[in-house]
Structure 1
Amino acid sequence: MSSQEQLLEGLNGPQREAVTHGGGPLLIVAGAGSGKTRVLTHRIAYLMAARGVRPGEILAITFTNKAAAEMRERIQALLGARAAASMWIMTFHSACVRILRREAHRLGYPSGFTIYDSADSARLMQLVCKEMDLDPKRFPPKSFSAQISNLKNELVDYDTFAEQAQTEQEKKLAEAYRLYQRRLHEAGAMDFDDLIMVTVNLLQMFPDVAEHYRRRFRHVMVDEYQDTNHAQYVFIRELVGAEQEAPVVPPSELCVVGDADQSIYAFRGATIRNILEFERDFPDARTILLEQNYRSTQTILSAANAVIERNEGRPAKNLWSEQGEGTPIVGYVADNEHDEAAFVVGEIDKLTDDGAITPGEVAVFYRTNAQSRVFEDVFIRMGLPYKIVGGVRFYERKEIRDVLAYLRVLANPEDTVSLRRIINVPKRGIGARAEESLELFAARERITFAQALRRVDEVPAMATRSVNAVRNFTALLDELAALVEASSPSQLVEAVLDKTGYLSELAESKDIQDESRVENLEEFVDVAREFENTFTALLEDEAALEGEEVVEEDAEPTLVDFLERISLVADTDQLPDADDEGGVVTLMTLHSAKGLEFPVVFLTGLEDGVFPHMRTLGDKTQLEEERRLAYVGLTRAERLLYVSRAAVRSAWGSPSYNPPSRFLDEVPPSLVDWRRGESPVLSAPPALRRGPSGRSFGGEGFGGTFGRSRQKTEAPTLSVGDLVNHDKFGMGRVQLVDGTGDRTKARIDFGADIGEKDLMVKYAPIEKL
């Protein structure tokens, strides 16, 4: 059997077509569990074996480092380590950073630019708003950061936005955007959104750069295409040369893989339009549908199909499996959220005791992070091991961020955000008043904060003690900076911990938490050492990609190399590892569950107002995304699937009666075995009660009494623009009214501190002013 035939062996018909396709753009619509990673990796191998494509001509883009690592491992198994090392298999951000390290000088950035994460960006925006003397209640820095991120995802720069700004809010945002970008540039830094936006600008402004990468990457593949935002979409089009009118280099061969039914990240800027309109964007494109599922039983797939088919405008797709019908879905109606958690944990305990599963094979999904607390309480009480995905991650811990800030300043002395983070860490007598004096001096002299530190003697009204403390701080930085050239990253980490006194202060502390912080810092040193041990191989990979040889004096890892690697670690890549005793139960939100699979899944909180979320009930587009989220949750299960809801759930300290989730009503009753239908202690109004069949007697619609402590006899008639007063939230203005009668729901804006709230008008403690 030839190597080409071996690559196609075991693939079903549509998979073979996707692997062997050549020529124009290709869209692979890959249903959940349909083997898309296998198709992608076999397509890459087939390109090389059958069509003679060189590894360095291939770019495969994923959304997480975990997915990229899995793809690289599979390609290595198919083609060998050398071939896998010679192609770019990485995330959008990693690919852009590689391009920018080489080309960013054209736009005035240093090649060793700092990458600001979300916390750094938020801190810089706070400084910008303070510099503009903005009232944080009227112009919240957090809101400005989110809006600027959205603008960058749409490739809208501050000049363009300033021209469009009309309201005072928009004008202030435009000014903040301009100053924020100026401060970033002065600090030699980019935030995560810049990485893609600046790369797009680079490709559009410098045709020779675009041509270089188009010549190099003749085959571009994108996984999870339904999750791309506008900036990522334009980046791909620029990279393959789709916009060229008279191309110097023929467009690269583009292959994208995705599933419109799993598009659940609109809140991050992802647009489902990119995959729904692929054939319009690329008229000569071919679409191949993968519907055979290799993960789940047919019962689970039939439930998922029944739910998602309610969405309009989606390409028809029907998942099927050869794994048999399997066990019916188990349904449970709990008295309240505590009873629901007790049921879930009790079932897990029973299954693990019987030896049917191990804890690591189980996942508990919920719509929002706040729902995890009650599950944690029961897991702790029962003594079952669990792990929450989405807690404080290693690189987000204060002690790690502090040391990273020192390292960033050593790599880029103008990094204002990092500099101001460590100016008094550990405490060295530089208080808030001294820092403010330095900030004002820098603004008056039109110099950076780092330059102001060096001219501390000129700062007016600065106390002698503070002046001396600043001098000692800059001397410390100079001492550490002198070590950069001759030291490895791990040696620099140890030097920072030692010379700053950071480690000794923690070691001498009586606080038991500081003991774990010391352990975290020891782990961070190990991270640096591990990076050094693998760096040479990584450098050889990079050189092979560029068609160059490794220069011996460049073979040592630098601080910039290490910081880049740390910056590109994805939160979603951190999942609990199995241990010798079978791992731990995973608790996570449905958004975090994307791309994962578990033999046993508990899908909880299935009530209208909880899931689907209250804020989506009056918006068709948002409700369809909630339905896609339900589809994702259902299709994570391999063998056993449980669905549950609570008849009564606490909200704002009061009981909330929510009708059953409409998603439950969309699942055929024959697929669900209701262990418990109507609870004996249900106290919801009759219209909201559920009978033994699992159907609600009152029909579908808005339900819930969030925040109510009393039932009102008469609901006010509200219109958009009306002013109301709420017992808890105060005065607000009506933004949206939806529904009729008892099910009328209003979206009310209570100002910057509270924000918008969706309330049931009949039950909410509000009065019309």
Structure 2
Amino acid sequence: MSTSIPLPGLESVAPSDPPRRGPSREQLLEGLNEPQRAAVMHDGAPLLVVAGAGSGKTRVLTRRIAWLISERKAHPGSILAITFTNKAAAEMKERVEELVGKRARIMWVSTFHSACVRILRKESDKLGYKSNFSIYDAADQKRLMTLVCNDLDLDPKRFQPGAMLHWVSNQKNELRDPEDATKDAHNSLEETYAAVYTTYQRRLREANALDFDDLIMGTVHLLQTFPEVRETYRRRFRHVLVDEYQDTNHAQYALIHQLCADPMEDTGADRDGAERVEPAELMVVGDADQSIYAFRGANIRNILDFEQDFPNATSILLEQNYRSTQTILNAANAVIGHNKGRKEKRLWSEAGDGERIVGYVADDERDEARFVSEEIDKLTDEGDLRPGDMAVFYRTNAQSRVFEEVFIRTGQPYKVVGGVRFYERREVRDALAYLRMLVNPADQVSLRRILNTPKRGIGDRAVACVQALADRDRTTFWEALRRADEAPGLATRSLTMIQGFVAMVEELQSMVDAGERADVVLESVLARSGYLTWLEESDDPQDETRLENLAELVAVAREFAEDPLAGPSADPTDVEAGIVAPGLGDFLERVALVADTDQIPDDDPDDQGVVTLMTLHTAKGLEFPAVFLTGLEDGVFPHSRALGDQTELEEERRLAYVGVTRARSRLYISRAVVRSAWGAPSHNPGSRFLDELPVDLVDWRRTEAAQTQWSRPDLSGGAGARIGAPTAAGRRNFSAAAVRADAAARAKPAREIPSLDPGDRVLHDSFGLGTVVSLEGVADKTVASIDFGSDGVKRLLLRYAPVEKL
């Protein structure tokens, strides 16, 4: 298959690094075993790489990409590599760049969502959206769904927003739009759900916003509806690689088919009469034994049926494990072997047998946590491991509480992954809502969130008056705010406050229009809005922590602004060629597309680190020298809802397989005879997964027969907790005055401010010809109100506005 098809817009882009020899064939294949080499060198037919846990799949993917570029002379811009987290994408890109140089930067290496955003930004007009659309995350979706349920006057107890969103998400994952849902409704309940879906999508469109599921469904519909667009991307992406294929849902599966399947309806020529585009070379990597996300819509059939979907496909099996001891792998093989209908695979290692697995039966959950804490201390004292080398896994988030209590009392440093995450904290969401509203004023959810935050005298009655004006004139909430003097029944004081808010927003928007750095805009927002002053003057002790979190957000924005390839929505080719620079919209996209596992911090190698507490679902893709797999009781793990359902029980077993294979050298398994549930003691039998372990692999330190009388260990004498130390970002002087100074120091050089008078004619880069209405402020604080005719009167901060006096 040819790999030299010209790529639109790529021909003129020269690599930015000086010419140099790439790695040799021998270097690219060095250290690979035979199946890995076969995967790297494969040519032609679709390829399924069944990669067992710890079998080096990331190495295979990166070497495969480098092989395509160096040996098969594929243009880097013709490569699309899909991973499930931004963190994994960044690591893959970095490793390929180490092999082949900076030309690797123009590959598309991203998550499904990021890749779809790039396509939709370019093609959004075909779907009726503006290119500056907002991306709504789970919290935004819930706020919007609550508004929708209120619109339809639904009983919130019967129709809960969370449940409605789950139903809508399932519809989108199956590529069913509101019309499909309405047509297939068979009873009044389904009709209500379909009506909610219809209204929810209409409100999204009015806000020029897409939710996460829309990103993929919209891209699939785009490619299905516009064959010329599909052919453009089929011509562009000649090599498509997908990681974690077992975690794909139906919509993601359909997207891959649009790009890679041989379209049966083609007759040998495309719409332009050119020779039909051959399908891209497809390589998918995954492991059906690690498919654990059915609750998110993942369909294990996608990987199990790959060879049926692509009849000429080739399969390669990676069974050699480079992570764990053979004892741990034997345990994993034994457990997963009880699942039916799986392809046989047995992990093996050259690392030797290693230590036996340690088992412990605790009196209750507190005794279990005490045992874990003591073992961590022993491993640390022996000097082999540090706290950062150890992780505690559990089935549900609620199980972390007792470990946290015991660890605090014993002075064990720890972190919980999967609690209230950074980007879900109130103050961070407030700051991001300000930024999103600046980029997309139609984003009503963000605008309403910050309209009276901090409090500025714009209450619910004022909001209702403005909304009435918007409804009457069929305009956006933002446009109604700008014309608030026309709102019926609005109090004079509220009007004054709204006009002050609008003036502030328009000044800040002029910074965005001028392409100011994301961190500078953010700092200006926090200072100009009064948000920082509000927190500084607060008596709430938590507000000091909120200031630290905002300082951290500014640090994230600064890191983004200083990375020329940071913008996920920009085509890397355009960035490399200097056509675009990452802006505020790109920063908001980076934040919106961060996945759970992207937020697991990397340990400093010179630091002792802290013990990690996390659910088994969050642990996927990670590894630790020592793992504590806790709560192994029927009803806890496997979960109670899976006990009577064979399909769900097999998914729980795959979850156990994932947990066991995270351990490199030491694995501990534990259960409690009695566990508190809803405030009452619950007696659960041992997990059936324990019975599936070969008896010779486990050293039981304590069994149920050794259970002692009921007593709780005294932990009151433990050292104080060593958690919660402020970060470097939190220690910096993050005050309103400091932020103003910092923003001023980092801002772009100011434009020369034109000398204007009311009545002067001016020319604006975007709005065209206008007439100055009024001026206020002096020097670099001068704000001009300019009438641009059909675009209305705009308030522009002249320091940033691209305005020329005529």
- TM-score normalised according to structure 2 size: 0.82
Q: Is the 8 Å Cα contact of residues 608 and 662 (structure 1) preserved in structure 2?
A: yes
The answer on whether the counterparts of 1:360 and 1:586 sit within 8 Å (CA) in structure 2 is yes
| Residue 496 of structure 2 corresponds to residue 498 of structure 1 | no
Match of 1:332 among 360, 366, 379: 360
Aligned mates of 2:684, 2:262 — CA distance in 1: 50
Unaligned runs of 5+ in 1: 685-769
Q: Is 2:534 aligned against 1:513?
A: no
Answer yes or no: is 1:559 the counterpart of 2:557. Answer: no
CA distance in 1, matches of 2:66, 2:92: 12
Q: Does 1:141 align with 2:161?
A: yes
1:643 aligns with 2:672: no
Do the aligned residues in 1 keep the contact of 2:68 with 2:74 (CA within 8 Å)?
A: yes
2:598 to 564, 573, 580: 573
Q: Matches of residues 4-403 of structure 1 in structure 2 within 5 Å?
A: 4-80=25-101, 82-246=102-266, 248-403=276-431
Aligned: 1:523 with 2:548? no
CA contact (8 A) 1:410 1:484 kept: yes
The answer on whether the counterparts of 1:540 and 1:550 sit within 8 Å (CA) in structure 2 is no
Tell me by how many angstroms 1:430 deviates.
1.7
Query: Does the CA-based 8 Å contact 1:241-1:250 persist in structure 2?
Result: no
Return the alpha-carbon distance in structure 2 between the equivalents of residues 70 and 532 of structure 1.
19
- The residue matched to 1:310 in structure 2 has which SS? coil
Between the aligned partners of 2:432 and 2:262, the Cα distance in structure 1 is: 40
Q: Which deviates the most, 444-453 or 332-341?
A: 444-453
SS where residue 149 of structure 1 aligns? helix
Q: Counterparts of 2:473 and 2:509 in 1: how far apart (Å)?
A: 26
Deviations 1:118-145 (A, max 9, x none): 1111111111111111110111111111
Change (3 A) 1:133 1:516: same
Asked whether the 8 Å contact 1:543–1:549 carries over to 2, the reply is: no
Structure 2: state its 5+ residue gaps.
1-21, 269-275, 711-806
Offset, 1:523: 2.2
Cα distance in structure 1, aligned partners of 2:511 and 2:705: 68
Deviation at 1:77, TM superposition (A): 1.9
Distance, in Å, in 1 between the alignment partners of 2:566 and 2:193 is 41
Q: CA deviation at 1:439?
A: 3.2
Task: Please state how far the C-alpha of 1:683 moved relative to its aligned partner.
Answer: 8.4
CA distance in 2 between counterparts of 1:52 and 1:244 reads: 29
Q: Which letter does structure 1 place at the counterpart of 2:213? A: D
CA contact (8 A) 2:114 2:569 kept: no
Deviation per residue, 1:176-198 (Å, 9 max, x gap): 11111111111111111111111
How far does the alpha carbon of each residue in 1:378-433 deviate from its partner, in whole angstroms, 9 at most, with x for none?
A: 11111111010012222211111111111111111110100110111000112223
Aligned residue identity for 1:14: P
Q: Judge conservation of contact 2:117–2:569 (CA < 8 Å) in 1.
A: no
Partner of 2:635: 609
Shift in CA distance, 115/662, structure 1 to aligned 2, threshold 3 Å: same
Matches of 2:309 and 2:60 in 1, distance apart? Answer: 23
Find the counterpart in structure 1 of residue 620 from structure 2.
Answer: 594
Runs of 4+ in 1 over 6 A off after TM superposition: none
Q: Is the 8 A contact 2:569 2:589 kept in 1?
A: no
- Counterpart of 2:651? 625
Aligned equivalents of 1:314 and 1:152: distance in 2? 28
Deviation at 1:499, TM superposition (A): 1.6
Distance in 1 (alpha carbons) for counterparts of 2:705 and 2:495: 70
Letter in 2 for 1:447: T
CA contact (8 A) 1:359 1:585 kept: yes
Within a 5 Å distance, the mapping from 1:693-732 to structure 2 comes to none
Deviates more, 1:502-511 or 1:652-661: 502-511
Does structure 1 residue 673 correspond to structure 2 residue 673?
A: no
Shift of 1:597: 0.5
Aligned-partner Cα distance in 1 for 2:566–2:689: 47
Q: Could you say which residue in structure 1 is the equivalent of 2:735?
A: none
* RMSD of aligned alpha carbons: 1.9
Larger mean CA deviation between 8-17 and 404-413 belongs to 8-17
State whether residues 539 and 550 of structure 1, in contact with CA within 8 Å, keep that contact through their aligned partners in structure 2. no
How far the C-alpha of 1:575 sits from its partner, in A, is 1.3
Task: Choose from 464, 472, 482 the match for 1:454.
Answer: 482
Give the Cα separation in 2 of the matches to 1:342 and 1:85: 49
Confirm or deny: 8 A CA contact 2:47 2:314 kept in the other structure.
yes
Contact 2:70 2:100 survives alignment (8 Å) = no
User: Partners of 1:205 and 1:258 in 2: how far apart?
Assistant: 30
Change (3 A) 1:540 1:570: closer
Answer yes or no: is 1:408 the counterpart of 2:436. yes
Percent identical: 65
Q: 1:203 Cα deviation (Å)?
A: 0.8
